[in-house]
Amino acid sequence: MEQQLRGKGEQEENLQRQLREMEQRCNKKEQRRSSLERELRDRDQDLVELNKTLSEAEKKLKECKCKEKRDWIIPRDAIVITDKRLGEGGWGYVVKGKYCGSAVAVKRLFKNVVISPRNRRKFEREMDIASRCRHPCLLQFIGATNDEESLLFVTELMESSLQQLLDKQPLTDGEVFTISLDVARALSYLHKKKPPILHRDVSSPNVLLWRRDDQWRAKVSDYGTANFLQETMTANPGAMIYSAPEACARTQTVKVGNRCVKLSWLLFTCMINFESIYLRNGPRRPCV
């Protein structure tokens, strides 16, 4: 009996020892689990901080790229503006000015135009497009302001516009040919950009003239209604009398070839000065 009791005591001790060992292993595993959870929380926190740092870096990179892309910005106090008005458009007018000692044309917004974020984006779009265009038959873009005051857009100064010249005198066949060729070269350059740029307002006020010897030469101006190909579904862009018939429809198709209608209508204007007849008699467009 005594031997049986000793055997049971040893078994109980063995069981208790095994239980303690199991408890120790459980405690170690619990500590390991707690340690892993703590490491996971630390890594999650590191990931949050890394994402925050990455977001800030991307924002700064975007700002740097924006500044690099918009190297057209010039200080307002560097522009001298006169009271001599050269012309006006749908949302601004052009006056004569000076920049770095040279005579320039300065486009200003009308006073009733609110400088809303939308208007500012529209103005910046015009300058972004102009700053990427370099061609002898496009009006040279010099720069622009981009502060909180009224926006200014500075270009080279030209002698006249096609509209002003047509109001004074008819064009000779040679002048029609030369001006038309210059306009066609400018549009060809815009259409060959990647992505293509559609001016969408090729009209006589936007064809500016200068003289080489005794001959008028032309440069296309005003990129206010220009747009990249993927954004050209706006109905009735630019002057109505120069628009292709399908441009009046909301379901118009995007085809660079359709711009030939505007160029053809501009040539027709040069030949018979139809625009002055249109302005006198109203918007009744004849069949051509």
Residue 278 confidence (pLDDT): 47
b vs e for 199-222, b when ≥16 Cβ sit within 10 Å of the residue's Cβ?
bbbbbbbbbbbeeeeeebbbbbbb
Per-residue pLDDT of the chain (288 residues; tens, 9 = 90+): 667 667 777 788 888 888 888 888 898 888 898 999 999 999 999 999 999 999 988 888 876 665 556 788 899 999 999 999 998 877 788 999 999 999 999 988 888 777 777 777 777 777 787 788 899 999 999 999 988 788 888 999 999 999 899 888 888 888 988 998 999 999 899 888 887 887 777 888 889 999 988 899 999 987 655 553 334 334 444 444 444 554 455 554 544 444 454 555 566 566 555 444 444 455 444 333
User: Roughly what angle, to the nearest 10 degrees, separates helices 274-281 and 259-272?
Assistant: 90
In the chain, where are the structural domains located?
76-156, 160-281
Residue 223 confidence (pLDDT): 65
Residue 264 confidence (pLDDT): 57
pTM higher than 0.75: no
Residue 122 confidence (pLDDT): 74
99 exposure class (CB count in 10 Å sphere: 0-12, 13-18, 19+) = buried
Which residue do the tokens 């109505």 mark? 240
Residue 100 confidence (pLDDT): 93
- In the chain, the amino acid numbered 193 is K
> What is 76-156's CATH number?
3.30.200.20
Handedness of CA 142, 191, 216, 202 (dihedral sign): negative
Residue 251 confidence (pLDDT): 52
Residue 273 confidence (pLDDT): 55
Residues in Cβ contact with 91 at an 8 Å cutoff, skipping those fewer than 6 apart: 109, 110, 113, 119, 224
> What ranges make up the beta strands (E) of 31-170?
79-88, 92-99, 102-109, 141-144, 152-156, 160-161
Residue 261 confidence (pLDDT): 46
> What is 160-281's CATH number?
1.10.510.10
Picking from 104, 215, 219, 209, the residue whose alpha carbon sits closest to that of residue 159 is 209
CA distance 202 to 182: 12
Catalytically active residues are: 201
Residue 63 confidence (pLDDT): 64
Distance of CA 252 to the CA centre of its chain: 22
SS3 breakdown of the chain: % helix, strand, coil, rounded to 5?
Answer: 50, 20, 30
Residue 76 confidence (pLDDT): 93
Picking from 221, 209, 239, the residue whose alpha carbon sits closest to that of residue 94 is 221
Return the ∠ at Cα 169 (arms to 164 and 173), rounded to 5°: 110
Partners of residue 15 on adjacent β-strands: none
